[in-house]
Amino acid sequence: MTRVQLFTDGAARGNPDGPGGYGAVLQFTDSKGQLHEKTLSAGYVKTTNNRMELMAAIAGLEALTRPCQVDLYSDSKYVVDAFNQHWIDNWIKNNWKRGKSGPVKNIDLWERLLKAKKPHQVTFHWVKGHAGHPQNERCDLLATTAADGDNLLVDEGL
């Protein structure tokens, strides 16, 4: 199984009702030691930071064409802790409810992320944002550039 590193970041201007974007960098080294890399990004007219964090992970996983072992790096505790702290298991068990706090937000994207994740073995890693991590900084630049760009998409789930 191919081992892939996926670095992700999301950004929103005027969160929660401004433009936003995501950035993702996929990397893997082939059997000859050659590094391969793919970058992904898109911007949206109106969205939230959490939705863009989720979209970065989704876009990266959906770009994979066969099952892989994926190390996913994100500065979003929202994304990483949902899996590492097993929040997502409880949300699903409780029909996407968080107890007295009401329904889980962004169910459409959580379901899409679960589907994108399914064929892969994914390990989630948290990295501190804006702390000089080269790939995280690169993803942040991709995300903010996309948010500030033209031809922004509509976030249908918002």
**Domains identified in the chain, total number:** 1
What pLDDT was estimated at residue 71? Answer: 98
pLDDT, tens digit, 9 for 90 and up, residues 63-101 = 999 999 999 999 999 999 999 999 999 999 999 998 788
The answer to whether residue 110 is domain-embedded is: yes
Question: What distances in angstroms separate CA 102 from CA 53, 75, 97, 158, one per listed residue?
Answer: 21, 25, 6, 17
Rounded Cα–Cα distance for residues 40 and 33 (Å): 23
The answer to whether residue 41 is domain-embedded is: yes
pLDDT, tens digit, 9 for 90 and up, residues 13-40 = 987 889 999 999 999 999 999 999 999 9
pTM for this one? 0.96
The answer to whether residue 156 is domain-embedded is: no
User: What is the domain-level CATH number for residue 114?
Assistant: 3.30.420.10
Question: Which two three-digit tokens encode residue 82?
Answer: 């949902």
The answer to whether residue 49 is domain-embedded is: yes
Within 8 A by CB and 6+ apart from 104, the residues are 91, 96, 97, 98, 110
Question: What distances in angstroms separate CA 27 from CA 13, 34, 35, 97, one per listed residue?
Answer: 28, 10, 7, 35
What pLDDT was estimated at residue 15? Answer: 79
Tell me 97's DSSP state: B
The answer to whether residue 79 is domain-embedded is: yes
What residues make up the domain containing 83?
A: 2-147
Active site members: 9-10, 53, 75, 130, 140
What pLDDT was estimated at residue 130? Answer: 81
The answer to whether residue 157 is domain-embedded is: no
- CA R_g for the chain: 15
Tell me 100's DSSP state: G
What share of the chain in percent tops pLDDT 90? 89
The answer to whether residue 154 is domain-embedded is: no
What pLDDT was estimated at residue 129? Answer: 84
The answer to whether residue 158 is domain-embedded is: no
Strand partners, 7: 25, 73
Rounded Cα–Cα distance for residues 43 and 155 (Å): 9
